[in-house]
Amino acid sequence: MRIADRIMLIGSGETGTMLSHALDCNMYLIDCHTEFVMIDAGSGVEPERIVRNIESAGVDMKKVSHLLLTHAHGDHAAGAAFFRDAFGMRVVCPQEAKAWLENADEDKLSIGPAKRAGIYPEHFRFPPCTVDDAVGDNDKLNIGDAVFQVIETPGHSRGHVSYLWIDGGTVRLFSGDSVFSGGKISLQNIWDCSIQAYAQTVAKLHALRVDQLFPGHGPFLLRESWKHIEKAHMAFERLALPANI
């Protein structure tokens, strides 16, 4: 589903539009002219639905060259092994999450607590996935005619990045689980969630003056996204907490 110039929504679960399996985060496909980039991989449950969404938009799966992961939680990254194995995509992930993804480390990725909380079913599996490129703050990814800047955005979890793409003067941010429409955030009772890291992340994202926001859950925003990010930033500046999704 085309949602903006050169951007498609290709998957989304019950926190979004139900375009794919209920457990999936929002997934985006970016047209970099000579090739395509996918942002996040979904839960790995029925990933063929995502393939169908891409192909029905007229895109050849062989042209999807890169899979950029914002972090390695199950709803964003458990599908990565499927896309790498089936289509040879290069998997890009935050440095700290590389070993967690390659070892399918259920403790570091909080899969156990999420199962106990009923977020994932008991039979949910996280297949390990080889990482081709581990990225850190300010790394630049040149893919086709697009340049993606990596921004480390811990808070929701460690090993979390966002991808900034300035396209023809429009500041576009793929924010994963760092900041959402309405200035919401995603605090969870897991080992690597940090309020203070979160406040610094939101301050950093606020300074980018983002036009278009494509988050991992909920609605995406096509203009004045900075106003939403500002709402979260102002809450942290008052030493309070923004609303949680």
Cβ neighbours of residue 234 under 8 Å, at least 6 residues apart? none
């498609």: which residue's tokens? 8
Which contacts qualify for 57-63: CB closer than 8 Å, 24 or more apart?
A: 57/1, 57/2, 57/8, 57/10, 57/29, 59/8, 59/29, 61/86, 61/87, 62/87, 63/35, 63/36
Nearest approach in angstroms of CB 156 to Zn ion is 6
Nearest approach in angstroms of CB 160 to Zn ion is 8
Which residues of the shown chain bind Zn ion in the complex (CB under 5 A)?
73, 177
Toward Zn ion, which CB reaches closer, 73 or 98? Answer: 73
Nearest approach in angstroms of CB 151 to Zn ion is 16
Nearest approach in angstroms of CB 73 to Zn ion is 3
Nearest approach in angstroms of CB 224 to Zn ion is 25
- Are 3 and 32 a contacting pair, CB within 8 Å? no
Beta strands in 73-218 (DSSP E): 90-94, 133-135, 140-143, 146-152, 161-167, 170-176, 212-215
Toward Zn ion, which CB reaches closer, 111 or 146? Answer: 111
Toward Zn ion, which CB reaches closer, 177 or 192? Answer: 177
Toward Zn ion, which CB reaches closer, 40 or 230? Answer: 40
Cβ neighbours of residue 223 under 8 Å, at least 6 residues apart? 211, 212
Toward Zn ion, which CB reaches closer, 190 or 208? Answer: 190
